[in-house]
Amino acid sequence: MTNVLTEIKNIANGIYTKILAKKQPKLETPLRALTNVKYDEKEGYFEILGKKKIRTLTAASVKTFAQTLKMMALSKELVEKDDIATKREAYYVSKNWGEARFNSQPDSDTVMDDVEAMLMVNREQIGFIPEEKGGEIAGKLIVIDKDTETKKDLRIDCTKFGSGAYSIPISIEHLKFETDAKFILAIETAGMFQRLVKHKYWKTANCILISMGGVPTRACRRFIRRLSEDKKIPVYAFTDGDPYGFGSIYRTLKVGSGNAAHINRFFCVPQAKFLGVTPQDIIDYKLPTHPLKDVDMKKIKDLLKNDPFVLHYKEWQKALKQMYDMKSRAEQQALAKWGLNYVIDKYLPDKLKHPEKFLP
Amino acid sequence: MPEDIPIALELAKKQREIGVAEFFARNRHLLGFDNKRKALMTTIKEAVDNSLDACEEARILPEVNVEVIDLQNDKFRVIIEDNGPGIVKKQIPHVFARLLYGSKFFKLSQSRGQQGIGISAAVLYSQLTTGKPAKITSRISPKEPSHYYELKIDTQKNKPDIIKEDVVEWKKEHGTKIELDLEGSYLGGSQSIDQYLKQTAIINPHVTITYTNPKAEQIIFPKATDKLPPLPKEIKPHPYGVELGVLITMLDNTETRTLQAFLTQEFSRVGPNTAKEICQNAALLPSTKPSDINRDMAEKLLQGINKTKIISPPTDCISPIGEELLEKGLKKEINAEFYCAVTRTPDVYRGNPFVIEAGLAYGGQQNAEESITIYRFANKVPLLYQQGACAVAKSIIQTNWRSYGLSQSQDSLPIGPLTLAVHVASVWVPFTSESKEAIAHYPEIIKEMKLALQECGRKLSIYIHKKRSLQVESQKRDYIQTYIPHVSDALKELLGLKEADQKKIEARLGEILRKHRGELEKVEMENPEYDEEFAAIGKKKKEKQETLDEVKEDD
């Protein structure tokens, strides 16, 4: 913690010294974008490169320059007082900043992420926490947390939530795990998760079920990573068979994102594999499809052209081209065509027989 | 009806020659006497034009006294007195009481008057509306006596009718004074006497005018320079500009004995070879006697002229105002931000050399929401009427002002805080009518006007664009400056600084801003020559404009 404070003060001091020397003050923040990452095969995630954004006294950047400094000041205050603010709260705090206030929360989030990237820390370390939940868990897992009052260990058995589930907390570094599950199944939609929980699929398959609810949050990614690494269990992703499922949900789970390029090393699950729904599944299981829209076609082209992860894997290129030619997509729940429990009785067991055939 | 007498015989009894004076008496609008207000204005204009022409020709710095006295019941007395060369005794009645009598019609040189109608038309108008004679005093030298005349025009014969003739005491060493009583109406505004005299002063900076208006207020327009404009050179007509009727008159009046001599001596730019070529092209013998040339032959001669290639007339006979004086005049009248003026090189239309000058004043206190203001001048005479019919308006409308940063709808004058002045100087300014109010639409003249306007427009657009980019720069700086306190505030919180340190940061950031972006240049011009009182002369007063319907009468 003191580290972060020192770093914040060092940056502020650098600016102050420059101003006193009548030199143009500058703030350099790493560019957080896919154009500034490379896929590191050995480490298995998107590593940030050296491109920087510069904010200084120009008409285009002075407002963000001032906002970044104000955001740093807010962060300093939070860390010193051992307090936290949600991203939205930080946005509302800025409403006191006069002309330097943020006009929308995305603007505020961007500056916050920039401060985080500049300091090369996780935002929780500088006092900011996200709004969203980290995902839900059901299955063969005991999470060992601490009681906030008594500080005693708290054992949470994820088999005992009935038709409900355990929520991944925002901060997970202190958690410990006990499990004998064979694999972790990371599921895109809450609907599919519910079906598998209802029929206790975790018991049948001896696994841990995780609902990502779309693109997995940082906490969710970190949780899966730590669990998988601690307990040496494989991670299988189960998403819709569409470019969003492949390129956004699975890709972010496995190697991180452009936007969080500076912290991908912690927030990725390089050992994850893709179970389905693959384009080939659509054919093999004769799934009902939807035609691809223009945006989907564009997303596929963009992935094939610009995504360092896709560019690295021939298998993904093949799969994406296959979908491009099919011009159609299928949802996870399309498996219900063959009966509501077809996914439990047939699809998943079939697929799990050949994990070597999963997409990388 | 009596039997067998052709009706034509009956009609013939009523047919007789119409005197030129009689004709104009009935068609006074042709000479600019259409209504009471304009009549008063035209009378003064004709007299002042004559005074200035005479002074310039005699190389005298003109001092002109104009006095208008209200005699009540729409009657006014106009007295105009100059320090010109005076008029010899026997010419006085002809100059003032005979239409189409003058020195300027038969020569080609840049002068204000042209046809010899103006002042005698004023005399005629005065006589028609009040029945009173014109009173003239003139003296040509301190050694000579001053002659006094009371004159009327015999409208049937177009001859002077001398009512009284005398020798009088007069304090002037030389000069001419004319006194006329006439029906008129005195109003302010853009077409007023005040405005006309002011514009005259602007465009003739060597002239001193003392004006006493009907309210007995005296306004003096002092001269701005002691330098007389160069005397315009007289030139002979160029063959391309001559029309059949004029050619026949010239053939009748010439003293030359052969067609060859006639062509070389009566025209400019015709040498022996060109003359021979013309004769050849006209299938006429060079030795033909001019007096033997009939109408048909004259027509052939004209065709011959047009077939022959003749070099353009000399252009050094034109004396423009000059860019510097034009700009100075605008500065005096208009408090603007940017001024420029352009004098074009001479060009020729129908054998007549001419020069176009244009000037503009932009911005300042001028109204940005209305059509621009136009000042028109022909041979240094302001034109106040018939703006819409004038070649100047047409040229302005045909110029694309949008590309120079003003707004303009199709086929209309541009909108913006702009005044344009256009001057046409020529040995023969083509007017649309005898009242000399609008310049005719000759393509050559319009082309030159547009070129002059475009040249001014380009200079203006450089200024406007520079001003706009500076405005953008200034806005950017203001924008950046608003964040300086936030930067200093954040640093104060981050580093636990004191108020004084914070102030220091703000001061330093201001310095850095100036260092990196440069000092903000100032574009607006100072105009020490602007004269508020002067500018107010002849301007309409709002309340007046609304109550007097008559103001609408002309444009």
| Token code pair at residue B78 | 């106009």
Give φ, ψ of A226 to 5 degrees.
-65, -45
Query: Looking at residues A219-241, what average pLDDT do you find?
Result: 94
Q: What is the pLDDT of residue A149?
A: 86
Q: Do B476 and A20 touch (CB under 8 A)?
A: no
Question: Å from A12 to nearest chain B CA?
Answer: 6
Confidence of residue B12 (pLDDT cuts 50, 70, 90): confident
User: Does residue A63 have a pLDDT over 60?
Assistant: yes
More confident residue, A165 or B312: A165
Q: Do B516 and A97 touch (CB under 8 A)?
A: no
Using one digit for the tens of pLDDT, what is the confidence trace for B349-373? 887 889 999 999 998 888 888 899 9
Q: What is the pLDDT of residue B16?
A: 66
Q: What is the pLDDT of residue A295?
A: 93
Q: What is the pLDDT of residue B548?
A: 37
CATH number of A136-357: 3.40.50.2020, 3.40.920.10, 3.40.1360.10, 3.30.360.10?
Answer: 3.40.1360.10
Residues 6+ apart with CB under 8 A from B471: none
Q: Does A59 touch chain B (CB under 8 A)?
A: yes
Of B486, B497, B513, the CB nearest to A97: B486
Q: Which range is least confidently modeled, A334-343, B339-348, B429-438?
A: B429-438
Q: What is the pLDDT of residue B195?
A: 87
CA B482-B486-B488 angle, 5° bins: 115
Using one digit for the tens of pLDDT, what is the confidence trace for A76-108? 999 999 888 999 999 999 999 999 999 999 999
Q: Which range is least confidently modeled, B305-309, B426-430, B519-523, B542-546?
A: B542-546
Substitution target in A69, A94, A111 with the highest count of B β-carbons within 10 Å is A69
Query: Looking at residues A316-330, what average pLDDT do you find?
Result: 95
Of A12, A15, A22, the CB nearest to B511: A22
| Token code pair at residue B47 | 């007299």
More confident residue, A320 or B537: A320
N-to-C CA span, chain A: 37
Query: Looking at residues B166-175, what average pLDDT do you find?
Result: 92
Q: Which range is least confidently modeled, A112-116, B12-16, B510-514?
A: B12-16
Confidence of residue B187 (pLDDT cuts 50, 70, 90): confident
Confidence of residue B555 (pLDDT cuts 50, 70, 90): very low
Q: What is the pLDDT of residue B551?
A: 39
Q: Which fold has domain B323-463?
A: Ribosomal Protein S5; domain 2 (3.30.230)
Q: Does A144 touch chain B (CB under 8 A)?
A: no
Using one digit for the tens of pLDDT, what is the confidence trace for B274-316? 999 999 999 999 999 998 999 899 999 999 998 999 888 887 7
Q: What is the pLDDT of residue B102?
A: 60
More confident residue, B135 or B540: B135
A33-40: long-range contacts, CB 8 A cutoff, minimum separation 24? A33/A258, A33/A259, A33/A261, A34/A258, A34/A306, A34/A307, A34/A308, A35/A258, A35/A306, A36/A258, A36/A261, A37/A256, A37/A258, A37/A261, A37/A264, A37/A308, A38/A308, A39/A255, A39/A308, A39/A309, A39/A311, A39/A312
User: Does residue B549 have a pLDDT over 50?
Assistant: no
More confident residue, A346 or B325: A346
Query: Looking at residues B313-337, what average pLDDT do you find?
Result: 84
Q: Which range is least confidently modeled, A131-135, A187-191, A314-318, B259-263?
A: A131-135
Does domain B239-307 fall under CATH 1.10.8.50? My reply is yes
Q: Does A101 touch chain B (CB under 8 A)?
A: no
Question: Å from B482 to nearest chain A CA?
Answer: 7
* CATH 3.30.565.10 residue ranges for chain B: 20-216
Q: Which CATH architecture has domain A2-129?
A: Orthogonal Bundle (1.10)
Q: Which CATH architecture has domain B20-216?
A: 2-Layer Sandwich (3.30)
Q: Do B493 and A98 touch (CB under 8 A)?
A: no
User: Does residue B552 have a pLDDT over 60?
Assistant: no
Confidence of residue B346 (pLDDT cuts 50, 70, 90): confident
B513: chain A residues, CB-CB within 8 Å: 57
| Token code pair at residue B492 | 């104060």
Partners of B313 in beta bridges: none
How much of chain B, in percent, has pLDDT values that exceed 70?
91
- For residues A204 and A256, the answer to whether their CB atoms sit within 8 Å is no
Interface ipTM: 0.79
Q: What is the pLDDT of residue B547?
A: 36
Confidence of residue B68 (pLDDT cuts 50, 70, 90): very high
Confidence of residue B550 (pLDDT cuts 50, 70, 90): very low
Question: Å from A207 to nearest chain B CA?
Answer: 49
Using one digit for the tens of pLDDT, what is the confidence trace for B431-489? 887 778 899 999 989 999 999 999 999 999 999 888 888 888 888 999 999 999 999 99
Query: Looking at residues B163-183, what average pLDDT do you find?
Result: 93
More confident residue, A223 or B30: A223
User: Does residue B194 have a pLDDT over 70?
Assistant: yes
What's the whole-number average pLDDT of chain A? 92
Confidence of residue A252 (pLDDT cuts 50, 70, 90): very high
What's the whole-number average pLDDT of chain B? 85
Consecutive H or E run containing B339: strand B338-343
Query: Looking at residues B236-242, what average pLDDT do you find?
Result: 85
Q: Is the pTM of this model over 0.80?
A: no
* CATH 3.30.230.10 residue ranges for chain B: 323-463
- Angle of helix B443-495 versus helix A62-80 axis, rounded to 10: 10
Extents of the domains making up chain A: 2-129, 136-357
Q: What is the pLDDT of residue B115?
A: 57
Q: What is the pLDDT of residue B17?
A: 64
Beta-strand ranges (E) seen in A32-165 are 37-40, 45-48, 52-55, 85-86, 128-129, 136-139, 142-146, 153-157
CA A250-A253-A256 angle, 5° bins: 115
More confident residue, B156 or A222: A222
Q: Count interface pairs A-B at CB distance under 8 A.
A: 74
B494: chain A residues, CB-CB within 8 Å: 8-9, 12, 69, 72-73, 76
Q: What is the pLDDT of residue B276?
A: 93
* CATH 1.10.8.50 residue ranges for chain B: 239-307
Q: What is the pLDDT of residue B543?
A: 37
Q: What is the rounded CA–CA span in Å between residue A332 and residue B121?
A: 103
Q: Active-site residue numbers of A?
A: 92
B510: chain A residues, CB-CB within 8 Å: none
- Whole-angstrom Cα Rg for chain B: 30
User: Any idea what DSSP says for residue B73?
Assistant: T
